[in-house]
């Protein structure tokens, strides 16, 4: 397709591999996870080159700018030619901290650590002191 044409947002999200299936993209849109200009959109909304949209993926909101429109699903290496992530550095840092906290901590209410958990924590502390 030429750069000036438009395509449905659910299809575009699937094409640029933000969602594994078009049905999952449509479901996220229905739940209000996809916004354009702080307004929820419908699956039939068309997007064109230059549009920006946000994908709410707790704990952050990722922002993207459309560089080029296509209707055919592409390989992951070609996605940067069609889509640019404009998410702020603070948001990405917040995501990394959330991932780190999730991997380090135990879920609330699970009780005391097991022997295996304790050994893993001790190894981690020893590695941090050796740096």
Does residue 119 surpass a pLDDT of 90?
no
Rounded Cα distance between 3 and 49, Å, is: 6
Q: List pLDDT tens digits, range 63-83.
A: 999 999 999 999 999 999 999
**Does residue 130 surpass a pLDDT of 60?**
no
Higher pLDDT, 124 or 106: 124
Beta-strand pair 34-36/39-40: antiparallel
- Average pLDDT of the residues in 115-129: 78
What is the pLDDT, as a whole number, of residue 106?
63
The total of other beta-carbon atoms located within 10 Å of residue 27's CB is 14
- What values do phi and psi take at 110, rounded to 5? -85, -5
Distance CA 11, CA 50 (A): 17
What distance in Å separates the CA atoms of residue 18 and residue 90, rounded to the nearest whole number? 21
Tokens coding 27: 């479901």
Please, which pLDDT band fits residue 4 given cuts at 50, 70 and 90?
low
Model pLDDT for residues 78-103, shown as the tens digit of each residue: 999 999 999 998 988 888 888 777 76
Domains of the chain by range and CATH?
7-87 (3.10.290.10)
For the stretch 31-62, pLDDT in tens is: 999 999 889 999 999 999 999 999 998 888 99
Whole-number average pLDDT of the chain: 87
């Amino acid at each position: 397709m030429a750069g000036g044409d438009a395509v449905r947002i659910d299809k575009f999200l699937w094409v640029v591999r933000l969602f594994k299936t078009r049905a999952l993209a449509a479901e996220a849109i229905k739940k209000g996870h996809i916004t354009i200009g702080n307004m929820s959109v419908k699956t039939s909304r068309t997007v064109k080159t230059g549009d920006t949209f946000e994908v709410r993926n707790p704990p952050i909101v990722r922002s993207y700018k459309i560089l080029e429109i296509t209707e055919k699903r592409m390989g992951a290496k070609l996605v940067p030619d069609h889509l640019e992530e404009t998410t702020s550095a603070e948001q990405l840092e917040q995501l990394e901290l959330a991932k780190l906290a999730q991997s380090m901590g135990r879920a609330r209410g699970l009780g005391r650590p097991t022997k295996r958990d304790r050994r893993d924590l001790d190894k981690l502390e020893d590695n941090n002191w050796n740096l």
